[in-house]
Amino acid sequence: MAKVGSFRLIWGLPPEVFCKKHSRDPDILLAEMRPHLFGSRYLTRRFKRATLVSDNTLGFLFFKKLIKEVILFYEKKDNFGYTLIPGSLTVIILAKRHQVPIRLVNGVSQIKIIKRTDQSALTFLGRPVTLKNILPILPEPEFADYKFLENPF
């Protein structure tokens, strides 16, 4: 079983330079990052010793204090804040709630990475997982302003 403070959670899309530098680090934690599966499809090939978890286990891992740092890769930074991949606001809230430091790093745009297999929760690896009459809400990039990131709860 993992010990307290075992992992650094990678959330978002790191540039190739970061991946090469940390490819053999044993403390990297990757989430699936559904629906596009950035973690399981894109990042597991770049981090050879990482641990992969499903998105819905992150709350438990924060609660158990297994995550010592969140490395959050943003797509764009402007005068107001950061543009992030879907799910980032949830990760920020969990980190802040459990007093885990967040390191913001310039990442890669998801537009360059997305494979058109899974665009919503209707499919998994290109196969339907819901009834035909179910309508999805498509994930959109998220925005976090500077005040939200700086202020604890």
> Hey, what are 61's tokens?
């891992």
pTM: 0.87
Q: Rounded distance, CA 11 to CA 107, Å?
A: 10
The pLDDT of residue 1: 62
Segments in the chain below pLDDT 70: 1, 110-118, 152-153
The pLDDT of residue 66: 96
User: Does residue 48 lie within any of the structural domains?
Assistant: yes
The pLDDT of residue 113: 58
The pLDDT of residue 148: 87
User: Does residue 122 lie within any of the structural domains?
Assistant: yes
Strand order in the sheet with 81-84: 76-77, 81-84, 142-145
Domain holding 53, by residue range, is 7-150
User: Does residue 23 lie within any of the structural domains?
Assistant: yes
User: Does residue 1 lie within any of the structural domains?
Assistant: no
Number of domains in the chain: 1
User: Does residue 2 lie within any of the structural domains?
Assistant: no
Q: Rounded distance, CA 129 to CA 20, Å?
A: 35
pLDDT tens across 50-88, in order? 999 999 999 999 999 999 999 999 999 999 999 999 899
Q: Which among 80, 97, 7, 12 has a CA at the least distance from the CA of 46?
A: 12
CATH number at residue 35: 3.40.50.10470
Q: Rounded distance, CA 127 to CA 71, Å?
A: 31
